[in-house]
Amino acid sequence: MKENIIPHSYQVSKKDREEKNKHKSFLIWFTGLSGSGKSTIANVVEQELYKLGVKTYSLDGDNIRKGINKDLSFAPEDRTENIRRIAEIANLMVDAGLVVLAAFVSPYRKDRENIKAIVKDVNFLEVFINTSLEECERRDVKGLYKKSRAGEIKNMTGISSPYEAPQNPDIEIKTEECTVEEAVNTILNYIKPKLK
């Protein structure tokens, strides 16, 4: 079947869309433990980009796990498939000319490498939201750590499932050492030149 799929050559390209939007498109990927601050920071970064007239879209567990990936669990192979599908969706959105913000725990290094392969290196920025497990557990935004300690959740990253921290992220944010505003400024300062 695959050999009969021959791509059609469309006349409107990514480059055309970027020129129309007056900015480049790429994927900003936030990785970190649950409760580390990925969504909080990504959300404010998106608001700031919106104010600058940048066309954006945010992907997170809420809009992905409840829709296209609702058939997937948190078992390692399903986590890999979860990230692969998100990367493919993000890739289409980047092609559509958007700056995509994706906030997912994405605990496995090989899965994050795969995102880079799908969207291509130049379109990928990795932001490591580095918050200690102790602090995430103290915040326990969704009550998941408590449930996990009580044995009610399997495969909880940081507790009963590993988190492989990025070795060379584009940006590292230590939320125990800075405010949300400072984190957002660090990220904006890094990405603003890349929009041009």
Please say if 106 is a catalytic residue. yes
Site for ligand ADP in 113-142 (CB under 6 A): 129, 139, 141
Identified catalytic residue from 25, 36, 39, 106: 106
Interacting residue with ligand ADP among 25, 36, 91, 148 (CB under 6 A): 36
Interacting residue with ligand ADP among 23, 28, 29, 38 (CB under 6 A): 38
Q: By CB under 6 A, tell whether 166 contacts ligand ADP.
A: no
Interacting residue with ligand ADP among 27, 37, 106, 145 (CB under 6 A): 37
Interacting residue with ligand ADP among 54, 98, 101, 103 (CB under 6 A): 103
| Secondary structure string (H, E, C) spanning the chain | CHHHCCCCCCCCCHHHHHHHHCCCCCEEEEECCCCCCHHHHHHHHHHHHHHCCCCEEEEEHHHHHCCCCCCCCCCHHHHHHHHHHHHHHHHHHHHCCCEEEEECCCCCHHHHHHHHHHHCHHHEEEEEEECCHHHHHHHCCCCHHHHHHCCCCCCCECCCECCCCCCCCCEEEECCCCCHHHHHHHHHHHHHHHHC
Nearer to ligand ADP, 114 or 186 (CB): 186
* Nearest position to ligand ADP, beta carbon: 37
Kindly state the smallest distance separating residue 118's Cβ from ligand ADP, in Å: 22
* Piece in contact with ligand ADP (CB under 6 A), picked from 4-12, 82-90, 153-161, 176-184: 176-184
List, by residue number, the catalytic residues.
106
